[in-house]
A and B are shown apart, each in its own frame.
Chain A
Amino acid sequence: MIALLFGLFASAMGLAWYNRLTVAYVVFGATLLVSVYWFKFHATSVLTIQL
């Protein structure tokens, strides 16, 4: 799912290119929130802690 984060940020940049700034900001904010979720997921996963 991390691939999706890159894709969404790239989409936000594309939207900004076409002057769809409000949608670009919304996509950026939503993607950053999902990124924080994945950070929490991977930072607290058992496998990582056992490294």
Chain B
Amino acid sequence: MTLTAETSRTLNALGMLAVCLVLVLALYYQLALYELPCPLCLLQRVGFVAVGFGLGLNLLYGARPRNYALMLLAAVFGGSVSVRQILLHIVPGTGHYGSPVLGLHFYTWAGIAFFLVIIGTSIMLLSERQYQAAPPEETEQRFGGSVLAKSAFLLMLALAIVNAVSALLECGPGICADPPTSYELIDKVESGN
């Protein structure tokens, strides 16, 4: 498979935007429908942000096999969390967490998404040509001068920060409640404790 450095960066940017879309949807359900994420749900989001780190390095300085390796490790972590949560609810009558989206719950979609990340990353690793040095004018610039790549990186960074604030408000500085019922830190501040 022949993939130029520029095409590789564009594909990585699109992958980053897809991961961002997952995080945005999760935030929408949290904020608009007041569905607080459980600890395992939060850890799946952590997995997506970790995948975003590997993608971000590919966007910043060009594709490298080690960055894809980090993405695979992150996807295996996130996928493991998803599978754990799927198994929690796989027996009929054991309930579920959150409302379904297109018939599947978020943790099931997350498991599918992490599986797709592993497949996509493996396919990207097939191309050797993407690692060849880009022209000097491109390597001197972060993101190879791509506005799409820079936007995707900054969006992921912003989503990581938003999730950090959200998790802090929900769990406080300690262990997250399981299942969560309210924003613990806000409650503490309001009650003056």
A interface vs B, CB < 8 Å? Answer: 1-7, 9-10, 12-14, 16-17, 21, 24-25, 28, 31-32, 35-36, 38-39, 41-43, 45, 47-49, 51
Contacts and interface: CB of A to CB of B under 8 A. Distances in A.
B40 A48 contact: yes
Contacts, number: 109
Interface stretch (B2-10, B53-61, B100-108, B130-138): B53-61
Closest 7 CB pairs of A and B: A6-B164, A3-B168, A3-B167, A10-B160, A42-B39, A7-B164, A6-B163
B-side interface size class: 35 or more
Interface in B15-56: 39-40, 42-43, 45-47, 49-50, 52-53, 56
A43 B68 CA distance: 27
Interface of B: 39-40, 42-43, 45-47, 49-50, 52-53, 56-57, 60-61, 70, 73-74, 77, 80-81, 84, 88-89, 94-95, 97, 142, 153, 156-157, 160-161, 163-168, 171, 173-176, 178-179
